[in-house]
Amino acid sequence: MAHIFNICLKNGEFSYNWKCAYLVLIPKAGKPDASETPKARPICLINELGKTFERVLAERIFLWQMDNSGSDLSNNQFGFRKNRSTCDALLLIKRITSSAVKNEGLAFIVSLDISNAFNSIPWRVIREAFRRKSFPP
């Protein structure tokens, strides 16, 4: 498998067969109105080879980012980071706000959620960002 993955990496290819996915709809919480279409969260499950290759790619990107300060990986980024979770982000917010209140100060939190933000970015923009940051081909 390592040999096949290395060929795919060298050629910049992700096999079409590995991209085939099963669509699973996970119902969202709450009772839908009888006249409404039930709300569901779509999840695409790719096969084992595709998932394994995806993890190889993610690991290589992660290792490159750790070794290259030019990747501009913010210390305050918690998503898509090893050993960081939503709980870590919430604990940081709690620490900052508790410190502000303890010192008789104020703390404001501004939150922004862009629906489908990552899925809405055109691939050409992602590829250009990779080139600008000198990601290896």
According to the 3-state scheme, what is the secondary structure of the chain?
A: CHHHHHHHHHHCCCCHHHHCEEEEEEECCCCCCCCCCCCEEEEEEECHHHHHHHHHHHHHHHHHHHHCHHHCCCCCCCCCCCCCCHHHHHHHHHHHHHHHHHCCCCCCCCCCCCCCHHHHCCHHHHHHHHHHCCCCC
Average pLDDT of the chain?
A: 84
Where in the chain are the domains? 1-67, 74-136
| pTM exceeding the 0.75 threshold for the entire prediction | no
Digit-coded pLDDT (tens) for 47-87:
899 999 989 888 888 888 888 877 777 788 887 777 888 89
pLDDT tens digits for range 2-50: 999 989 888 888 888 888 889 998 888 776 666 677 788 888 899 899 9
